[in-house]
Amino acid sequence: MPQRTVVVGSTSGLHARPAALFVKAAAAQATPVRLRVGERPSVDTRSILAVLAQRVKQGTEVTLEAEGENADAALDALAGLLARNLDEEAEQHA
Amino acid sequence: MLERSTLCGLGVCAGIAAGPVVRMGRPVALPAPRAVFDPHAELSAARQALKAVSADLADRAAGAAGPARDILDALSMVADDPLLAETVEQHIAGGADAAHALARALDGQAAVLREGGGYLAERAADLEDVRDRAVAVVLGAPMPGIPDPGHPFVLVADDLAPADTATLDPGRVLALVTVRGGPTSHTAILARSLGIPAVVAVSEALSIEDGTLISVDGSAGTVRVGVDPREAGGPRIRVRQPIEPGRTKDGYAIPLLLNIGSAQDIRSDAEGVGLLRTEFLFLGRDDVPSVDEQRAAYGQIFGAFSNKKVVIRTLDAGADKPLPFLGLPAEENPALGIRGLRTASMLPDVLEQQLAAIALAASDTEADVWVMAPMVATAQEAAGFAVRARRHGLAKVGVMVEIPSAALRARRILKHVDFLSIGTNDLGQYTMAADRQDGRLAELLDPWQPALLDLIAACARAGREAGKPVGVCGEAAADPLLAAALVGFGVSTLSMAAAAVPGVGAALAERTRAECEQLAEAVLAAGSPDEARFLALPHW
């Protein structure tokens, strides 16, 4: 299964604004993408509740997984987003 | 229905206000479960309710700004969550009606978050808010939320949800009355930070009809129902709230001191004075007040604080606050000119006489008098001031940190003086190169600016290393959310106007010292004022 491993770049991890941006981007993809943290079962990235419950902090390594013909595009888009520090960028655009 | 009676509760923010009641919809009580004959209809009703709640919250988010926008936006996403939709579907498949399926699904998710503790546990209240909204829609009841009747009103509610506190307009809400809540509840802290008279724990509050004129006394903790129309609609009266010693939740003392500018500002219940401005004696005069006159004036204030600390600041005048006897020429750029301690190099006698008067007044009274100089830029200036002040027998000598150079060299300055007091308003102005008088630059002057917070934290660190106290006076110390972060930096006292003390005290009592330190760390990692403030909010 296509997958990407990324280190989460946002200051607040996958909480607050970065979590919201990530989930919104996941919902916009053509194919569902799942998020796996360590040995825990993977969760749907389109669910803010599931993503928050993973309690991902800045610097944590996470894995994204997807299947189907759009998988690579979706994985690249979401992995790129996770690697960025969305907290800092939000401030630059403010 | 209640007419002409007085209800009792717990006053959490002093002040009196009267006006017409507007009740916030109490969360709709769940009716008894119904037997379901058409699960498809239940599923479609539940889905539509979640969609309506999500759309309503998204609309509110679009009309909000800053942290409120993020809270509402996140709540809207929760209502739209696929995991939630799936759980609702499972409950309906199990035979539940739409309202019960929604309630169980959201309560289940809230329980999961509570188990996560900390930040996630705080999110559980948000899920309950979404639950109340979705259940209301399914049952055909109005969605709960802060009403907007188009005129000022007294808000009566069961309790306020996080989303409500983000959208409460202090211009519209004259007073707050809630059925639930306690002295350190979310509602109480919000009321104090906005200065809205509030009474919580009024069990019969929701039986007051909309439109009834009531008078709320936040000091006495009473609500008078059915007041005279002439009484209602009057101005909100702000009443003095009692000042209590500052403590964190685990009992660590953070003295909350007063900023005062004359004897009129004395509050005998305060823990002391963190900034006594002396300009009052000098303004509007052509001559320098004599040593005797100064001694009497300072003595009057010191006398009100026996065995308490009073930090007195030497004259802070000059280019920005011209005084005729200083004889200084007008300057192009007064904020950067001859002001504060800098005037002493031109008129050393004025400072000498003031130090002499302070020393005499201190010996006349039992106050613990500390003295400090304004506008110090270098360690040499600090050392020079310390030598002069000590020559007059003043034991505790410090300087204000208002210039970035002083903050950057705090460690070196502390070799010469006994304490630092950070004036965040000027420190912000000079750090951001933004004129305090210019309203267009308000964003740059935000006390939550990361660069300003870095400098404050650096001073606090230097103080801890040297084992010497570092206080904060200025707007930052009066911000209840920021106060906890300042304590986390290692700031030892906060000084503010008397009106701000209760709000700051309540906010500090909410957190342990360790939690303040965690908050401080998070706030220092933030990239913007909004992000930092957001991290301190008990919200998303």
Angle, helices B118-138/B66-79, rounded to nearest 10 degrees: 60
Residues of A whose CB is below 8 A from B526 = 11, 87
pLDDT higher at B404 or B510: B404
- pLDDT value of position B251: 94
What residues does B371 pair with on adjacent strands? B312, B397
Q: Tell me the DSSP string of A6-36.
A: EE---TT-SSHHHHHHHHHHHHTSSS-EEEE
Distance (Å, whole) CA B186 – CA B509: 12
Q: Cα distance from B99 to chain A (closest Cα, Å)? A: 20
Chains A, B: CB contacts under 8 A, how many? 67
Average pLDDT for residues A5-15, to the nearest whole number?
89
Q: Which fold has domain B6-20+145-225?
A: Glucose Oxidase; domain 1 (3.50.30)
Coil/strand/helix, residue B191: helix
| pLDDT > 70 in chain B, percent | 92
pLDDT higher at B89 or B319: B89
HSE value, Cβ hemisphere, 13 Å, CA-based, for B301: 29
The first and second tokens of residue B147, run together, are 């009403």
**Averaged pLDDT score across all residues of chain B:** 88
Interface confidence (ipTM) of the complex: 0.88
Average pLDDT for residues A79-91, to the nearest whole number?
85
H-helix segments, B139-275: 162-167, 186-194
Weakest mean pLDDT among A55-69, B183-197, B256-270, B360-374: B183-197
Distance (Å, whole) CA A74 – CA A69: 10
The first and second tokens of residue B26, run together, are 């109490």
Residue B351 above 50 pLDDT? yes
The first and second tokens of residue B428, run together, are 């912000």
Q: Give counts: helices (H), strands (E), chain A.
A: 4, 4
- pLDDT value of position B172: 85
pLDDT category of residue B535 using cuts at 50, 70 and 90: confident
Q: Cα distance from A87 to chain B (closest Cα, Å)? A: 6
Distance (Å, whole) CA B399 – CA A14: 43
User: In a 10 Å sphere around its CB, with 0-12 CB exposed, 13-18 middle and 19+ buried, how is residue B194 labelled?
Assistant: middle
Strand order in the sheet with A3-7: A3-7, A61-66, A33-36, A43-44
What residues does B222 pair with on adjacent strands? B8, B217
Distance (Å, whole) CA B302 – CA B304: 5
- Segments making up each domain of chain A, as ranges: 3-93
- pLDDT value of position B539: 42
Distance (Å, whole) CA B405 – CA B410: 8
Report yes or no: B135 and B144 within 8 Å, Cβ to Cβ: no
Looking at domain A3-93, does it have CATH number 3.30.1340.10?
Answer: yes
pLDDT tens string B163-174: 676 667 777 899
Nearest by CB: B70 against A17, A44, A48: A17
User: In a 10 Å sphere around its CB, with 0-12 CB exposed, 13-18 middle and 19+ buried, how is residue B525 labelled?
Assistant: middle
B89 vs A: CB within 8 A: no
B76 vs A: CB within 8 A: no
pLDDT higher at B247 or B331: B247
The CATH superfamily holding the domain B39-138 is PtsI, HPr-binding domain (1.10.274.10)
Average pLDDT for residues B331-335, to the nearest whole number?
82
Question: What is the end-to-end Cα distance of chain B in Å, rounded?
Answer: 38
Q: Which residue is closest to A47 within chain B, CA to CA?
A: B81
Distance (Å, whole) CA B486 – CA B380: 27
C-beta pairs of B278-284 under 8 Å, 24+ apart in sequence? B278/B312, B278/B313, B278/B314, B278/B315, B278/B316, B278/B354, B279/B315, B279/B316, B279/B317, B279/B321, B282/B315, B282/B317, B282/B323, B282/B325, B283/B321, B283/B323
Residue B361 phi, psi dihedral angles, 5° rounding? -65, -35
Residues of B whose CB is below 8 A from A85 = 527
Residue among B133, B192, B153 nearest B11 (CA): B192
Weakest mean pLDDT among B243-252, B262-271, B326-335, B347-356: B326-335
Q: Where in chain B is the domain with CATH 1.10.274.10?
A: 39-138
B-interface mutation test, from A12, A15, A44, A48, most B Cβ less than 10 A away: A48
Q: Count of residues for chain B? A: 540
- pLDDT value of position B475: 77
The first and second tokens of residue B372, run together, are 């400090």
Nearest by CB: B83 against A50, A88, A91: A50
Q: Where in chain B is the domain with CATH 3.50.30.10?
A: 6-20+145-225
Distance (Å, whole) CA B499 – CA B196: 12
Nearest by CB: B531 against A23, A46, A91: A91
- pLDDT value of position A90: 65
Distance (Å, whole) CA B105 – CA B86: 9
pLDDT tens string B19-61: 999 998 767 889 999 999 999 999 999 999 999 999 998 988 8
Active site residues of A: 15
Average pLDDT for residues B533-538, to the nearest whole number?
73
| pLDDT > 90 in chain B, percent | 54
Average pLDDT for residues B79-105, to the nearest whole number?
95
Q: Cα distance from B83 to chain A (closest Cα, Å)? A: 6
Residue B3 above 70 pLDDT? no
pLDDT tens string B244-287: 899 999 999 999 999 998 888 888 889 999 999 998 888 778 88
pLDDT category of residue B78 using cuts at 50, 70 and 90: very high
Q: Where in chain B is the domain with CATH 3.20.20.60?
A: 256-536
Weakest mean pLDDT among B35-44, B120-129, B180-189: B180-189
Coil/strand/helix, residue B287: coil
Distance (Å, whole) CA B157 – CA B145: 10
Nearest by CB: A90 against B74, B525, B531: B531
pLDDT tens string B482-530: 999 999 999 999 999 887 788 788 889 888 999 999 999 999 999 888 8
pLDDT category of residue B540 using cuts at 50, 70 and 90: very low
CATH architecture of B256-536: Alpha-Beta Barrel (3.20)
